[in-house]
A = this chain, B = another copy of it.
Amino acid sequence: MAEPSLQEKYAPANICFGCGPANSKGLHIRSFVRGEEVVAQWMPEPHHEAFPGVLNGGIIGTLLDCHSNWTAAWYLMRQAVAEHPPCTVTADYAIKLLRPTPTDGQIELVARVVEARENSATVEAQLLAHGKVCATCRGTFVAVKPGHPAYHRW
């Protein structure tokens, strides 16, 4: 049987535009743990472009934000020796676009936690196309407490 992604395992009903398996018009980011890294592969569609052949920078940010958020959620789950990831939200993320990202093949995402507290994590991530790093991201992700609107997001 195919390995389920973090999103499919822990949040199959999630409707998030970036990473929700249940959003029929979303990006369906599928993140997998590989050692200390979390990785994903994703195929662009024509309407995700900025101009012909090049991926839109906002879509790049969406991929890196959601993938990094799941990296943080998985890390905090493991750190707490919990069975389910906490519901995490993005506090901030910063994108650097190093070169145009071509849309003629799979996009790869690679992320890892670089700093963590009990309820938050800082994640650094890269987006690659044809093996070249086209964009980077550094973001902070926070596990929300009861009462926050995201507390039951997955």
Contact = CB atoms under 8 A, between A and B. Distances in A.
B17 A49 contact: yes
Contacts of A63: 58
A23 B56 CA distance: 12
Interface of A is mostly: mixed
Given A58-B65, A150-B54, A94 B93 contact: yes
Interface of A: 14-18, 23-26, 46-54, 56-59, 61-63, 65-66, 89-97, 100, 149-150, 153
27 contacts: A15-B47, A15-B49, A16-B50, A17-B48, A17-B56, A17-B59, A18-B50, A18-B58, A25-B47, A50-B89, A50-B150, A50-B153, A51-B150, A51-B153, A57-B65, A57-B89, A58-B59, A58-B66, A61-B65, A62-B62, A89-B97, A90-B95, A91-B97, A93-B94, A94-B94, A94-B95, A100-B150
